[in-house]
Structures are given as C-alpha cells and as structure tokens.
C-alpha cells in the first residue's frame, strides 16, 4: 500500500501522518529521503524484517534525491504488500514520470496552504478545536483570533494553546495575549494613513522597523492600496462581490469600504500613485526603504 501526502499545509500533512502512525500496531520507520541512497531501497520496500511482518515506512522528501526519484517508478511494482509506504512531499514535480506512475497506484492527498480565501474555513476549524479542548470561545473571539493570527494553522494552534489555559476568554484578553500578525499590523498602519493620522503612522513605522522586513511590509501595504482602488473603481458594487473577484476574504475588504467611498476614484488614484512612486524608488534608488514607505503613507494621509 502506498500513500502520498502532499501540499504546503504542513499542519494538515502532519496531522494526517500522525493519524496513520497512531493506527499502526508497531513502530514506524522514518527516513529522510534527501539522504537516502539507492542501495538502501531494497531493504526499505521489499518485505518484512526479523522483528515484524508488517511495516510502516515513512519517507520525507524523496524527490529531493534526484537520483532515486528518477528511477523510483521502476521500484513501485516491487513494493511488498506487507509494507505501507508513506511518501511525504511538500511540492512534488507533477510532471515527472515517478509522480505520474504514483497517481496510478497510490492514494494521493493534497493539503494546500490556507490563504485569505480560507478565513471562514479557519474560523470553523478553530471553533471546532476550541470545543474539543473545552475552551469557551464565542464566535466574536474566534473571529478575532483568526483576524490577529491569520489562516496559518500552526499559528492558530499555538494561539489556542495559549488561550486554553485561561479561565476566561474575551476579546480584550485576546488582544492582550495574542500578538497580531504582520497582515493585521499592516492594515492598522494603512488605515491610520487613510484616517489622516500622520503622527500615528510615524510611531507605528518606528515600532515595525524593529521587527519587520520593509520589502515584505511594503508588498502587503501595496496589496491594501490595490484593494482600496478596486473598491473605489467598483462604484456601487458590493464589497463582497469585489472580494470574490479579487479572491480575498470579504471581511478585510469590507473594512476598506468606507475609506474607498470617501476617497472616490480621484483619491484612490492618488493613493496608487504614491505607492507606485515608492515602488519605483524601492527598485531603482539607494533611498532607505522605510523612508519610502513613510513617504507613501504620509501622502496617503494627506489625500
């Protein structure tokens, strides 16, 4: 039997793997595929051992060993029925012969990483996990945790572990205990600019400079500016429909709606122009990136 667990959602991959391992009556053999040598394959895939008739063999990232991955399809017919082989591959090349041959004989499950489109799924998952831990969280608290952490399941799990030891959970406690992720910080920064609060913008940048990468933060800010422009250009079209068109979660976009209406198309175009100027500066000048970010936001604050 061959099982392939793929995808960049390492939390779900790990959960699926642990479920299989716990259901196996024995000790799983765990192999680092990148360090595996071709001469070791016969012992791994061709039958039992002196100590066990049934075996569970887990090989991670076998595709990292090009020499083995290229010829591994030739070994598939030789895999013993007494072996449950699990291949864990974060991003296998689906064009290769080995992957195509695996599709014919293996059970392949893909676990893609959650994105902003999966906020609702993240909220449902977190609510379910909280119930399983007897953690008393209402929907407002669940929504706030996801808002602050984002859809990353590992971060959500870690946040839930923090909260599960508390006697009482409220939105105020969540704000104090759970650190906001960069996306949430970016929205606060961008919204401060949209509100014309230049002083707060400068204060937040001074804080973010200590821990954030300016190029990553600028990319997130640019995304916010693009969404603002999309809303302004959409006119009376509901933000939920615009969110669907852009492939983003409607909650985040809805928070920009009032600013888009206030700025209108002329104002939104000025904001985009400010970010386009900063983007050009990032790519072509030696100007400190944080200064370029601050200039773009201050221009946004004065629109």
For residue range 116-138, what is the model confidence (pLDDT) as tens digits?
778 889 999 999 999 998 888 99
pLDDT at 48: 57
Higher local confidence (pLDDT), 200 or 250: 200
**Cβ atoms of 31 and 44 closer than 8 Å:** yes
Question: Considering only CA atoms, which of 84, 146, 87, 154 is closest in space to residue 116?
Answer: 146
* Res 5 pLDDT > 60: yes
Tell me the chain's radius of gyration from C-alpha atoms.
25
* 137: Cβ contacts below 8 Å, ≥ 6 apart: 126, 127, 130, 145, 163, 169
* Res 52 pLDDT > 70: no
* 88: confidence class by pLDDT, cuts 50, 70, 90: very high
**Cβ atoms of 101 and 92 closer than 8 Å:** no
Question: Considering only CA atoms, which of 110, 117, 102, 181 is closest in space to residue 145?
Answer: 181
- Please state the rounded mean pLDDT for residues 31-42: 88
- Please state the rounded mean pLDDT for residues 296-300: 95
pTM, two decimals, is 0.66
Of the ranges 57-61, 81-85, 210-214, which is most confident? Answer: 57-61
| Cα(185)–Cα(191) distance, integer angstroms | 10
* Res 111 pLDDT > 90: yes
* 22: confidence class by pLDDT, cuts 50, 70, 90: very high
Complete DSSP assignment for 117-156: GGHHHHHHHHHHHHHHTT----HHHHHHHHHHH-S-HHHH
* 95: confidence class by pLDDT, cuts 50, 70, 90: very high
| Cα(83)–Cα(172) distance, integer angstroms | 52
**Cβ atoms of 102 and 76 closer than 8 Å:** yes
pLDDT at 251: 67
pLDDT at 27: 87
| Cα(115)–Cα(283) distance, integer angstroms | 27
pLDDT at 290: 93
* Res 253 pLDDT > 80: no
Q: Which phi and psi angles does 60 have, rounded to 5°?
A: -95, 135
Q: Which residues is 31 bridged to in the sheet?
A: 59
């Amino acid at each position: 039997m061959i099982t392939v667990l793929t995808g960049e959602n390492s939390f779900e991959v790990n959960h699926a793997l642990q479920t299989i391992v716990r259901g196996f009556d024995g000790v799983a053999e765990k192999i680092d595929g990148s360090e595996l040598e071709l001469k070791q394959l016969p012992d791994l895939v061709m039958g039992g051992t002196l100590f066990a008739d049934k075996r569970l063999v887990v090989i991670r990232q076998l595709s990292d060993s090009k020499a083995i991955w290229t010829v591994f399809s030739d070994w598939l017919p030789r895999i013993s029925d007494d072996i449950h082989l699990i291949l864990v591959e974060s991003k296998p090349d689906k064009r290769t012969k080995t992957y195509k041959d695996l599709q014919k004989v293996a059970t392949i499950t893909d676990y893609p990483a959650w994105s902003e489109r999966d906020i609702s799924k993240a909220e449902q998952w977190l609510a379910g996990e909280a119930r399983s831990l007897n953690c008393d969280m209402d929907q407002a608290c669940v929504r706030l945790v996801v808002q602050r952490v984002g859809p990353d399941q590992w971060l959500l799990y870690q946040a839930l572990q923090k909260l599960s030891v508390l006697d009482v959970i409220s939105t105020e406690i969540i704000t104090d205990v759970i650190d906001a992720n960069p996306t949430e910080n970016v929205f606060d920064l961008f919204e401060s600019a949209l509100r014309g609060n230049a002083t707060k913008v400068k204060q937040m940048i001074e804080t973010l400079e200590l821990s954030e990468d300016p190029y990553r933060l600028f990319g997130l800010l640019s995304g916010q500016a693009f969404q603002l422009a999309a809303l302004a250009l959409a006119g009376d079209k509901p933000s939920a429909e615009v969110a669907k068109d852009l492939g983003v979660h409607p909650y985040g976009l809805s928070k920009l709606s009032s600013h888009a209406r206030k700025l209108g198309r002329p104002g939104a175009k000025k904001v985009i122009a400010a970010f386009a100027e900063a983007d050009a500066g990032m790519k072509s000048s030696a100007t400190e990136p944080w200064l370029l970010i601050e200039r773009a936001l201050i221009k946004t604050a004065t629109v």
